Chain A
Amino acid sequence: MALEDLQHNFLTGPLEDIVRWARRASVWPASFGLACCAIEMMATGGADFDIARFGMEVFRNSPRQADLMIVAGRVSQKMAPVLRQVYDQMMEPKWVISMGVCASTGGLFNNYAIVQGVDQIVPVDVYAPGCPPSPETLMHAILTLHEQIRTGEILKRRHEGRPVHIDGAAELWTPEVPVAVRVGTPK
């Protein structure tokens, strides 16, 4: 994330690298804490697990100013349209981390009241398992996202769904079809 990542020096580096560096070095999360995972998200922002070192301590309350929506907690049927509304109000480029098992798959609550996975409503980039995921897990998810930003195409629009190549990935990856980037699971 520092300047030595760029292939060339500052003046001649390709534009894409600079833009990607800028994007991943200051991803601003929209505060979308719902339940217990929100407390762990706050703990990640606290002093012990500081995410300010990644440039992310500003939890923007207005979705217009946010880049990343960390869906932290269980999404109920009543909350689902609100979630979609907040997601739609965010400006491109935007990413979604689904934090915790309740947001990823419905978790412990397989019943009438909880949406079984927030990827039924918004396209998700990274899933972080855990109930709640400890701050280390959340940071690993964030760093995985930074890696995706670092190697992804910047001029691709999310809706067009053109596949994107990540160096070293076995298959092609599109944001509309989430790859299960299982944090912490060895290959």
Chain B
Amino acid sequence: MTDSNVRAADRLDLLTAETSEGAQELQRRSSTNADELGREAGAVLRLDGLTLDPTSIDFDRRDDETMIINMGPAHPSTHGVLRLMLELDGEFVLRTKPIIGYLHTGMEKTGEELSYIQGGTNVTRMDYLSPVINELCYSMAVEKLLDIEIPDRAIWIRMLMSELNRISSHLVWMATNGMDLGASSMMIYGLRERELILAFFEKTAGLRLNLNYVRPGGVAADLPDGWQDDVLVICDTIYARTFEYDELLTGQPIFRNRMIGVAPLAAEEALALGVTGPLLRSTGVAWDLRRAMPYLAYDQVEFDVIVGTYGDNFDRYAIRLNEIRESIRIVRQCIEKMPSGDYRSQDPKVTPPPRARIGESMEALIHHFKLFTEGFQVPAGEVYSAVESPRGEIGCYIVADGTAKPYRMHVRAPSFVNLQAVSLLMRGGMMSDAITVISTIDPVLGEVDR
């Protein structure tokens, strides 16, 4: 707290000391050992002995020729509270080190204290741009541990909501990407389209964001009456507008110059770093969990997996734009093929009874009470279950010990692993390219830090 007796200069020193993260930051070259220099310089992939290439851009630099700059956590372009320390030689970036943890929420610890029904509310706030997919990952892991089947309608509703969420997440990406590159009208368009989807979410689940909709056993509520019309309006509108984005961005020379050929990623590098999602597909590897290891009903719908060629920024932009179109295609098929039936499993040990029956039946009241105070028991075991989020593979590793709360809940966040590619991609580029690189990696710091 400020004390008016403290002089401004002392306060500045104090605050600089308080916001410094010590050993987590980028150190001067002279005080960094060879192993770490090699890792930061991108020599991480030479697995047999570490020798820095003499023609490498950062081989022969003294400490006073370069500048270590901090792109602090409160920054407009870092997509959240990401802190980057850059070593700059004029305009060129030599080394980068991301420092994360500014949004660490202790969600894995909180997950151990919440029952399995409540766990969705926790997990949904990790990747706050695709909350339905977080919940889906968690619910599928719990259902595997419980070894229950969920009805077809629940599966298709989950798929519909996941794809709508994928569209809205990619729209936010296009909006923020446009904003980062200076096309601020793209920000307005992306958010405007997204409002259509959020209005549908609010109609179905009650909330626009962080909807606690997908739960173990099915979904929380059935789709509202007339949902086919609402969703068709969404599909038609957004599909037509993706062509407007093409006109605005894809062919525009300034956009192309800033994105084409910038920060290419090779397939071997991506696989070695554990990168998944559009970042991996931009390098040419056609890996999409919805196609390779289908879950829900993805093997019964037709869609294409979009793959890039050069792994540069433009490929990643094009992949996300076209994934919007592919998701719209899947949503249309969901509208046609949606089966009727229950929207959640009828197993009374897992699913709460309908509220109307609580006043009539004693068992319903008891089940409701037990499920919402204590929760359902899950037999002991461990599972790792993964789905495809707009950022990559999101996986949930749960260790159950037979009680009503998970013993250990760990979420494999795609942005956390993708962010390791930042050092590699920014190396040798210019400062302005650094912004576009962070933007196209599309990190969501909520899931990076958890």
Direct contact of A and B (CB under 8 A): yes
Do the beta carbons of A39 and B76 come within 8 Å of each other?
Answer: no
B residues near A159, Cβ cutoff 8 Å: 2, 4
Report the nearest B residue to A40, measured CB to CB.
B209
Task: Give the distance in Å from the alpha carbon of A161 to the alpha carbon of B128 in the complex.
Answer: 38
B384 at the interface (CB under 8 A from A): no
Tell me how far the C-beta of B23 lies from the nearest C-beta in chain A, rounded to whole angstroms.
14
B379 at the interface (CB under 8 A from A): no
Question: B105-113, B257-265, B401-409: which one contacts chain A?
Answer: B105-113
Tell me how far the C-beta of B255 lies from the nearest C-beta in chain A, rounded to whole angstroms.
21
A31 at the interface (CB under 8 A from B): yes
Tell me how far the C-beta of A30 lies from the nearest C-beta in chain B, rounded to whole angstroms.
8
Task: Give the distance in Å from the alpha carbon of A64 to the alpha carbon of B188 in the complex.
Answer: 26
Do the beta carbons of A39 and B209 come within 8 Å of each other?
Answer: yes
B172 at the interface (CB under 8 A from A): yes
Do the beta carbons of B446 and A112 come within 8 Å of each other?
Answer: no
Report the nearest B residue to A113, measured CB to CB.
B106
B residues near A33, Cβ cutoff 8 Å: 80
Tell me how far the C-beta of B254 lies from the nearest C-beta in chain A, rounded to whole angstroms.
22
What is the interface size of chain A, counting residues whose CB is below 8 A from a CB of the partner? 40
B residues near A81, Cβ cutoff 8 Å: 15, 18-19
Residue from the list A36, A59, A79 in contact with B209, Cβ < 8 A: A36
Contact mask A53-92 → B, CB, 8 Å, 1/0?
0000001010000000000011011110110111010000
Do the beta carbons of B188 and A47 come within 8 Å of each other?
Answer: yes
A25 at the interface (CB under 8 A from B): no
Contact A88 B103, CB 8 Å, known A48-B192, A59-B76, A134-B208: no
- Of residues 189 through 217 on chain B, the ones whose CB sits less than 8 Å from some CB of chain A are 191-192, 194-195, 198, 208-210
Task: Give the distance in Å from the alpha carbon of A42 to the alpha carbon of B80 in the complex.
Answer: 12
Do the beta carbons of A43 and B104 come within 8 Å of each other?
Answer: no
Instruction: Report the tally of A-B residue pairs with Cβ distances under 8 A.
Output: 112
Do the beta carbons of B102 and A35 come within 8 Å of each other?
Answer: no
Task: Give the distance in Å from the alpha carbon of A145 to the alpha carbon of B105 in the complex.
Answer: 29
Residue from the list B101, B103, B125, B192 in contact with A46, Cβ < 8 A: B192
Report the nearest B residue to A120, measured CB to CB.
B1
A residues near B104, Cβ cutoff 8 Å: 76-78, 113
B129 at the interface (CB under 8 A from A): yes
Task: Give the distance in Å from the alpha carbon of A112 to the alpha carbon of B107 in the complex.
Answer: 10
- Of residues 81 through 98 on chain B, the ones whose CB sits less than 8 Å from some CB of chain A are 81
A103 at the interface (CB under 8 A from B): no
A131 at the interface (CB under 8 A from B): yes
Task: Give the distance in Å from the alpha carbon of A59 to the alpha carbon of B191 in the complex.
Answer: 16
Report the nearest A residue to B195, measured CB to CB.
A48
Do the beta carbons of B172 and A39 come within 8 Å of each other?
Answer: yes
Do the beta carbons of B106 and A79 come within 8 Å of each other?
Answer: no
Do the beta carbons of B81 and A111 come within 8 Å of each other?
Answer: no
Task: Give the distance in Å from the alpha carbon of A48 to the alpha carbon of B195 in the complex.
Answer: 7
Contact A86 B103, CB 8 Å, known A35-B128, A159-B4: no
Contact mask A25-53 → B, CB, 8 Å, 1/0?
00000011111101110110111100000
B135 at the interface (CB under 8 A from A): no
Task: Give the distance in Å from the alpha carbon of A91 to the alpha carbon of B6 in the complex.
Answer: 17
A residues near B2, Cβ cutoff 8 Å: 88, 159
Task: Give the distance in Å from the alpha carbon of A147 to the alpha carbon of B22 in the complex.
Answer: 44
B121 at the interface (CB under 8 A from A): yes
Report the nearest B residue to A102, measured CB to CB.
B105
Do the beta carbons of B103 and A82 come within 8 Å of each other?
Answer: no
Tell me how far the C-beta of B113 lies from the nearest C-beta in chain A, rounded to whole angstroms.
8
B74 at the interface (CB under 8 A from A): yes
Do the beta carbons of A61 and B76 come within 8 Å of each other?
Answer: yes
B residues near A124, Cβ cutoff 8 Å: none
Interface centre among A47, A48, A78 (most CB of B within 10 A): A78
Task: Give the distance in Å from the alpha carbon of A86 to the alpha carbon of B106 in the complex.
Answer: 24
Residue from the list B75, B80, B208 in contact with A34, Cβ < 8 A: B80
B residues near A79, Cβ cutoff 8 Å: 73, 81, 102-103
Do the beta carbons of A43 and B103 come within 8 Å of each other?
Answer: no
B residues near A86, Cβ cutoff 8 Å: 74
A2 at the interface (CB under 8 A from B): no
Tell me how far the C-beta of A68 lies from the nearest C-beta in chain B, rounded to whole angstroms.
14
Tell me how far the C-beta of A95 lies from the nearest C-beta in chain B, rounded to whole angstroms.
16
Interface centre among B75, B191, B208 (most CB of A within 10 A): B191
Tell me how far the C-beta of A40 lies from the nearest C-beta in chain B, rounded to whole angstroms.
6
Tell me how far the C-beta of A5 lies from the nearest C-beta in chain B, rounded to whole angstroms.
30
Do the beta carbons of B209 and A111 come within 8 Å of each other?
Answer: no
Contact mask B15-26 → A, CB, 8 Å, 1/0?
100110100000
Task: Give the distance in Å from the alpha carbon of A33 to the alpha carbon of B104 in the complex.
Answer: 15
Task: Give the distance in Å from the alpha carbon of A81 to the alpha carbon of B109 in the complex.
Answer: 23
Do the beta carbons of A31 and B19 come within 8 Å of each other?
Answer: no
Do the beta carbons of A82 and B125 come within 8 Å of each other?
Answer: no
A residues near B19, Cβ cutoff 8 Å: 81-82, 85
Task: Give the distance in Å from the alpha carbon of A45 to the alpha carbon of B175 in the complex.
Answer: 12
Do the beta carbons of A35 and B106 come within 8 Å of each other?
Answer: no
- Of residues 25 through 76 on chain B, the ones whose CB sits less than 8 Å from some CB of chain A are 72-76
Tell me how far the C-beta of A153 lies from the nearest C-beta in chain B, rounded to whole angstroms.
19
Contact A78 B208, CB 8 Å, known A46-B191, A48-B195, A112-B106: no
A residues near B107, Cβ cutoff 8 Å: 109
Do the beta carbons of A109 and B103 come within 8 Å of each other?
Answer: no
Contacts beyond the supplied A78-B104, A81-B15: 12 A-B pairs with Cβ under 8 Å: A35-B125, A35-B128, A46-B188, A47-B195, A61-B76, A76-B101, A76-B103, A76-B104, A79-B73, A84-B18, A88-B15, A114-B105
| Chain B residues at the A interface, C-beta cutoff of 8 Å | 1-2, 4, 11, 15, 18-19, 21, 72-76, 80-81, 101-107, 109-110, 121-122, 125, 128-129, 172, 175, 187-188, 191-192, 194-195, 198, 208-210, 445-446, 449
9 contacts between A and B (CB under 8 A): A32-B74, A47-B188, A59-B76, A81-B15, A81-B18, A86-B74, A108-B110, A109-B105, A114-B105
In the A-B complex, the 3 residue pairs with the closest CB atoms: A46-B191, A113-B106, A36-B128
